[in-house]
């Protein structure tokens, strides 16, 4: 009973971080291979694959309390590849609609394209090399009337002749980068039914684009479709895009605009069902998978 209570407490505490993970089905699988490395680099030496190669893979998600489709139209889009059509107040076509409740809007997008990658397991050691392109975007606390203006346009009459005042912060952040990974894992302790493994991934990061904008406060009045008065506002803005700022010429989207470095550390404990094999093996594929509880 104590273990169950502890598990529930830990789950509740970690809930806000674990909900951001994606591809859980394959990343936690015993056949995860290179896809398990990003979740936990020590998984290389504990999964069923002794060798894994990846040419290309795609994962992504988007979540928002602002933009949506009706569920029936979404399934129609999945089946027939036919986008729904919605109309603004000015009869302009849109392929989505919006939530118009008086609630601050949030949104996030995460895209990862996994490029050529490989891993190999040799006894109690495992090695991996991964490559990927990643893109993330988040929008936090966008005011309801501003969200409607983005959808309808400034010519939305119901929101004219109103003085809007805000004392909250709206944030928009976006990044895109190429990520390389060099991974190593080691099954460092095996005794009876206990097995402990540790792993590390060193990741050079090559930034391609970045953007952020924050509005700390605002006081504005929309008179009509071509007149807007801003009485007060504090805005921070910054960007680094694949563009030649002197000529406005677009550069390669993979051009490096900045450099960074990351490290992933992971550890795995397994309580095996039958203990460990002590036989000597000459080929990579010979060691059996050790079932665990």
pLDDT above 70 covers what percent of the chain?
91
The better pLDDT of the pair 226, 213 is held by 213
The tokens describing 291, both together, are: 């079932």
Averaged over 45-54, what is the pLDDT?
Answer: 92
Looking at residue 23, its pLDDT comes to 63
Is it the case that residue 120 has pLDDT exceeding 60? yes
Averaged over 21-25, what is the pLDDT?
Answer: 62
Contact 68, 96 (CB under 8 A): yes
Looking at residue 21, its pLDDT comes to 52
Averaged over 191-196, what is the pLDDT?
Answer: 89
Looking at residue 30, its pLDDT comes to 85
What's 23's DSSP letter?
A: -
Looking at residue 13, its pLDDT comes to 46
Looking at residue 2, its pLDDT comes to 53
Averaged over 35-52, what is the pLDDT?
Answer: 92
Q: How far apart are the C-alpha atoms of 124 and 190, rounded to whole Å?
A: 10
The better pLDDT of the pair 168, 181 is held by 181
Is it the case that residue 43 has pLDDT exceeding 80? yes
Between 3-7, 13-17, 57-61, 89-93, the lowest mean confidence (pLDDT) is in 13-17
DSSP letters, 168-231, are S-EEEEEEEEEEEEEEEEEEEEEETTEEEEEEEEEEEEEEEEEEEEEEEEEEEEEEETTEEEEE
**Smallest Cα–Cα separation from 220: which of 158, 161, 144, 264?**
161
pLDDT band at 5; cut points 50, 70, 90 = low
Averaged over 227-234, what is the pLDDT?
Answer: 88
Between 15-24, 124-133, 184-193, the lowest mean confidence (pLDDT) is in 15-24
Q: Where are the alpha helices (DSSP H) in the chain?
A: 2-18, 24-27, 71-80, 144-152
pLDDT band at 7; cut points 50, 70, 90 = very low
pLDDT one-digit tens code per residue, 232-289: 888 899 988 888 888 888 888 778 888 999 999 999 999 888 877 777 777 777 787 8
Looking at residue 3, its pLDDT comes to 55
Q: How far apart are the C-alpha atoms of 162 and 89, rounded to whole Å?
A: 18
The tokens describing 260, both together, are: 């960074």
Neighbours of 248 (CB within 10 A): 7
Looking at residue 15, its pLDDT comes to 44
């Amino acid at each position: 009973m104590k273990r169950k209570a502890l598990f529930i407490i830990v789950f509740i505490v970690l809930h806000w971080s674990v909900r951001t993970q994606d591809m859980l089905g394959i990343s936690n699988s015993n056949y995860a291979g290179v896809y398990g490395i990003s979740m936990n680099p020590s998984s290389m030496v504990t999964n069923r694959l002794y060798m894994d190669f990846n040419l290309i893979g795609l994962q992504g998600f988007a979540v928002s309390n602002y933009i949506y489709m009706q569920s029936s139209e979404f399934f129609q889009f999945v089946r027939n590849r036919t986008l729904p059509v919605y109309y603004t107040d000015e009869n302009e076509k849109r392929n989505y609609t919006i939530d118009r409740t008086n609630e601050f809007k949030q949104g996030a997008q995460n895209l990862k394209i996994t490029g050529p990658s490989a891993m190999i397991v040799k006894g109690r050691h495992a090695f991996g090399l991964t490559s990927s392109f990643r893109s993330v975007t988040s929008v936090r606390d966008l005011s309801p009337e501003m969200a409607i203006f983005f959808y309808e346009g400034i010519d939305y009459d119901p929101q004219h002749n109103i003085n809007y005042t805000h004392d909250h912060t709206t944030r928009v952040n976006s990044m895109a980068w190429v990520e390389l990974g060099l991974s190593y894992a080691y099954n460092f302790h095996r005794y009876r039914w206990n097995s402990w493994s540790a792993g590390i991934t060193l990741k050079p990061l090559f930034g391609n684009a970045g953007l952020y904008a924050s509005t700390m406060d605002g006081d504005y009045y929309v008179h009509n479709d071509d007149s807007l008065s801003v009485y007060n506002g504090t805005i921070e803005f910054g960007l680094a895009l694949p563009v030649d700022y002197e000529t406005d010429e677009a550069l390669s989207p993979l051009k490096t605009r900045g450099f960074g470095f990351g490290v992933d550390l992971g550890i795995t404990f397994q309580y095996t069902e039958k203990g460990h094999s002590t036989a000597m093996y000459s080929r990579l594929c010979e060691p059996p998978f050790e079932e665990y509880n």
